[in-house]
Amino acid sequence: MVQEYEAQHRPATEEETELLRNEDFQTRILANTRVENFSRQSQKILNVLASMRIVVARPDNPKKTFIVASNPVARFEDHPSQPIGEPGVELWTTMSPTLAVGFVAVDMKDSNMSLSNHLVRKLNTCLTLNSHAIAGNSEKLISSLTASEW
């Protein structure tokens, strides 16, 4: 990482060299890069997202909750490698234990919906599989997800 930095910028100071070799610093930089890249989507993707319907979902069952995850976007599709914007492709993120927001390609009468226990679990499972850290308000849920998905 130090050589790469020096090749692109300038010789690293002693302090910079120490930071670049620090595993915690590398992890933080990777996370910041992911956020930065996520915020710089191509105009084509932004146009597709703008054409999709935004829906808000809550669990049907008040005992079921969503998790939050280090990779906060779950993608669902009817067929592998299906392009975003086609019917059957959805992007979801959770906002709280009882609130999720999705981009869907189908026209729906209502922007609010309830998710069955199965769909709540599907969303939580997808977020868990794509993340290295998850959090939730149920220790039992977190234990179940990490035992079955990690």
Largest Cα span, the chain:
60
Residue 7 CA from chain centroid, whole number = 32
**Packing angle between helix 117-129 and helix 139-149, nearest 10 degrees?**
60
- What are the pLDDT digits (tens) for 25-61? 888 887 777 667 766 777 888 888 888 999 999 999 9
The token duo for 115 is 């998710």
Distance CA 131, CA 63 (A): 24
pLDDT digits (tens, 9 = 90+) for 95-132: 999 999 999 987 777 899 999 999 999 999 999 999 99
Predicted confidence at residue 87, as pLDDT, reads 87
For 7-23, write each residue's pLDDT tens digit: 888 998 999 899 889 98
